[in-house]
Structure 1
């Protein structure tokens, strides 16, 4: 059976909206090195192109964007096979779509400790715009098919599994912590997890996928119920309860986003109690020097309590010190660095729209995802005295067998290093699937109610979008699930751009 392996971190801290631990990959023939962030939501791999920095940009623009010497030039790679211009899968729900030139090329993954894995014909999005600012490595096991094009490219996870380089379609990831002394680099393990990064003094919790195996390609499977948010060290004495309701707010864990995205009402509560200032021009919450000094002195913190419907056992709890919430953005967000609180209003500021728990959340949390079993785990991450890597395998059978020391299915379990942990989970989240077949086009619409909330996320209406092309041809995504693939149209798949880079319909 293949062994799990870790992707080597770059050793650098990148990003224009905070300091984030990046990872190194190589792309093309001949190979060039690029720094990327793991993307728990997406399936594409994205790299800034050579045109991603303009003549009037700062001279170090391309280095800030993760390239050692230059952005990606497709004409310089002998293995590049161009597909065309599409809307990317990493659409920013707040700022609109991102466009890219898609093609197939070779990704080389450096293994921490030595060696590489070479993956040919990988789908690559060559980004000219500055969103995303740093390249990304999609972790969802999805193959994209492109409208009016017969070419397709598997995700990194699928390619690794197809080449029998993984014991399971799974990974473990924590984002690292720039604010710790010493700084803690991120950790990404394929086919298993790094037990040295799991804090045994805190209970872990296993969650079922929100959509379950019936809709395995749905990105938002890694979804939790946000039961409570509490804060200490704010402008009011004692503990402030910002949110306390098991049925009113769900959150998608999405490391392609740096910060938290919350409903307007919750953002305003944070603003008032922490003494933040909302900047309408940038849509960020800033922290002035006086407020910063007070929050440091009072040791401010924010505690999340997370669960899911009908769970047994205790929910997952994690506390973020103020240091983890004090971000310094840079160009092009700000010409001069200012302190910001890692929070933005979600789409339309609606309480009915899911929250997003971005990369900030994964500073203090270790995420373990098993696509083969439609489950994921949350652990408190070790950030002090991190030991030598201790990679443990997640295989297809390990998560079926109940650990003798585990808790009741669906409840909390104490993490034990060196043990294959697992217990059966019966998915209890309701999933309703409607299927319509016409003119050879299969359209699957998944309507999911999680925590009694209607999920209102949907495709954007723009030229070339899924909405306008629905009657023309399927835009399919195929997901690896239990050793077979199933395809379905999906509003987050790449769509033909149609030459229009606007936001209108």
Structure 2
């Protein structure tokens, strides 16, 4: 683990990662500050999610979700969040993260109920604070053991709350002028490289020292829940032997939410043969024992992925992963005893084809949502390289610049200048004076305009985002009354929320430690987070995760 980090920003904004953790990694995590007063939790990056998720303190380490919770449960799950201690927790209700095959990780079969709310959210230890951000509280250790921070710019829609729409944190940063463009760059980091290389996340920019530039540009797909799609033209293996693992091109989604490579069954068969893998039926993982893992490390085996924006021919970029990138560690509750595993999953159909977080250890991903393009580059591993961040400008500013002065996602930059140092200094001083005068004029103009419009009523514009964003499923109708209804907990069973969808509001407004007054489609007894019909008993943990008296 590294020393605590921070968030720094000028025109762009960089997030500093501070830990290596997770029960399927380890992976680089960073701090989110949630609620009022702030509570710090550690999360992973999800390039597909529009919302952030945190593990709830009442349930995240309880016996209801853990048959045998580890002694360091609270710490290992990134520190638990107590919603009852946040005065700004404005509860919306319990919803699934996807519905009817649509939404976050629906294609991969993810099923997750979460207690959604609006709350104050900050990134890093000193990063910007935004109010009324979508935060989802989770309990179960599967599919998310740690919380996540979402990078998808689409709003979160709640069909049962009158199509209430909540903008993403990323979009709000741009709308409030904190960052200049709706773009980001991310790489997952690699523990096995140099002296442990941590992940990097930059809003509105990219770091040229972290990748090898190429000329390939990818266009985003129309599906907003699976937008970063490329043609995977081939996969080749080299080690003790050599082999082609994939020869026919496929369309595949790049997504950091899941750690695995989800590939066609025939390709998985080829991986099994090349690496001597065997699927463990109990865990569903390709477990690798210590002896075999050492053999694979010594073989210097590696896998090369060829990516392009077209099915065949054309410009392409190759990303090579050494076996070290596949030698991940699985821990409880994925397995009873810690074990190496190979992050490979057999896709049931083409909608599951995914290059997950393991791939992004060796790939640098830059996404520009304003221009609808993204770039994938091979990571560069130079211990002496100095960080060089290039800002990605807004599409709206393109008309005011040209050529290399308008960088797009992941492009190359040219820092050369034909001006002398004296000329540059003179221009800089003149520009500062001009900016100061312009700022004063704008201040008085804007102030006067605000005074004019302070009492002027305008009709709201149509919320297009409600029509285009991912839709989260509505809670189920209230259960039939029974004699023991009074003893039920706040939460329903998983069958109820997965099998019943409604656009109506059945219950009254409720809150949990917050000030929410949203109309709820939640029964007064609420719903269930643990996945069972049993009552959830809150547990209380010290920082080291040990249980203390209530």
Q: TM-score, normalised by structure 1?
A: 0.75
Retained in 1: the 8 A contact 2:77–2:145?
Answer: yes
Q: Does the 8 Å contact 1:303/1:319 carry over to 2?
A: yes
CA contact (8 A) 2:184 2:206 kept: yes
Q: Go from structure 1 to structure 2 and tell me whether the alpha carbon gap of 1:386 and 1:94 turns closer, same or farther (over 3 Å shift).
A: farther
Which residue is equivalent to 1:241?
A: 244
Distance change in 2, residues 1:291/1:417 (3 Å): farther
Match for 2:363 among 352, 365, 369?
365
Matched, 1:39 2:53: no
Q: Report what 1:178 is aligned to.
A: 191
Alpha-carbon shift at residue 154 of structure 1 (Å): 1.6
Work out the CA distance in 1 between the residues paired with 2:44 and 2:287.
Answer: 24
For the pair 1:277 / 2:273, whether they are aligned, the reply is no
Would the aligned equivalents of 1:27 and 1:106 in 2 still touch at CA under 8 Å? yes
**CA offset digits 1:204-228 (Å, max 9, x no partner):** 52100122xxx6xx12110111110
- 1:3 maps to 11
Change (3 A) 1:295 1:383: same
Deviation of residue 2 (structure 1)? 6.4
2:257 and 2:356 in contact (8 A); partners too: yes
Secondary structure, counterpart of 2:181 in structure 1: coil
**Offset at residue 391 of structure 1 (A):** 2.0
- Taking a change above 3 Å as real, the CA distance of residues 160 and 284 of structure 1, as seen in their structure-2 partners, is same
Distance (whole Å) between structure 2 residues aligned to residue 404 and residue 191 of structure 1: 16
Distance, in Å, in 2 between the alignment partners of 1:266 and 1:316 is 20
Q: 2:449 matched to which residue of 1? A: none
1:269 and 1:311 map into 2 onto residues whose CA distance is 21
Q: Go from structure 1 to structure 2 and tell me whether the alpha carbon gap of 1:156 and 1:63 turns closer, same or farther (over 3 Å shift).
A: same
For residues 85-128 of structure 1, give each alpha carbon's deviation from its aligned partner in whole angstroms, at most 9, with x where no partner exists: 000254464454100100010111237xxx42011101011001
Equivalent residue, structure 2, for 1:83: 92
Q: 2:31 aligns with which of 21, 24, 33?
A: 24
Matched, 1:149 2:161: yes
How many angstroms does 1:199 deviate by? 2.5
User: Would the aligned equivalents of 1:224 and 1:252 in 2 still touch at CA under 8 Å?
Assistant: yes
Q: Find the aligned partners of 2:522 and 2:154 in 1 and give their Cα distance.
A: 18
Q: 1:207 to 1:255 in 2, by over 3 A?
A: same
Q: 1:100 aligns with which of 114, 127, 139?
A: 114
For residues 330-381 of structure 1, the C-alpha deviation after alignment (integer angstroms, 9 at most, x for no partner) is: 11112321111111122xx33x334111111111111000000000001111
Q: Deviations over 1:474-500 (max 9, x none)?
A: xxxxxxxxxxxxxxxxxxxxx989958
Per the alignment, in what secondary structure is the counterpart of residue 353 of structure 1? Answer: helix
Aligned mate of 1:377, from 375, 378, 396: 375
**TM superposition shift of 1:297:** 2.2
Aligned: 1:338 with 2:344: no
Extract unaligned runs of 5+ from structure 2: 1-8, 99-103, 417-465, 471-493, 506-520, 533-550
Matched residue, 2:426: none
Name the SS of the counterpart of 1:196 in structure 2: helix
User: CA offsets per residue over residues 179-206 of structure 1, 9 Å max, x none?
Assistant: 1231001000011112221225xx2521
Matches within 5 A, 1:377-416: 377-385=375-383, 387-397=385-395, 403=403, 415-416=412-413
Give the conservation status (yes or no) of the 8 Å contact 1:463–1:500.
Answer: no
More helix by share: 2
The separation in 1 between residues aligned to 2:410 and 2:62, in whole angstroms, is 51
Contact 2:154 2:469 in 1 (8 A): no
Distance 1:165 1:413 in 2: 20
Inter-partner Cα distance in structure 1 for 2:48 and 2:384: 27
Shift of 1:311: 8.1
Question: Is the strand fraction higher in 1 or 2?
Answer: 1
TM-superposed CA distance for 1:322, in Å, is 0.7
Residues 196-345 of structure 1 mapped to structure 2, 5 A cutoff: 196-200=209-213, 203-211=214-222, 218-234=224-240, 237=241, 239-246=242-249, 249-309=250-310, 313-345=314-346
8 Å CA contact 2:47, 2:257 repeated in 1: yes
Q: Structure 1 residues 193 and 462 mapped into 2: Cα distance closer, same or farther (>3 Å)?
A: farther
| Residues 315-335 of structure 1, C-alpha deviations (whole Å, 9 max, x = no match) | 110110111111111111123
Change (3 A) 1:292 1:153: same
TM superposition shift of 1:463: 5.2
Aligned counterparts of 2:270 and 2:115: Cα–Cα separation in 1: 41
User: How many pairs does the alignment contain?
Assistant: 419
Q: 1:313 to 1:99 in 2, by over 3 A?
A: same
User: Following TM superposition, by how much is the alpha carbon of 1:445 offset from its aligned partner in structure 2, in angstroms?
Assistant: 12
Q: Distance in 2 between matches of 1:443 and 1:156?
A: 19
| Deviation of the 1:294 alpha carbon | 2.7
Q: CA offsets, 1:281-323, max 9 Å, x none?
A: 1111122344323322221000000112378842110110111
Q: Which has the higher contact order (CA 8 A, sep 6+)?
A: 2
Shift of the 26–197 alpha-carbon distance from structure 1 to 2, 3 Å rule, reads same
Over aligned residue pairs, what C-alpha RMSD do you find?
A: 3.3
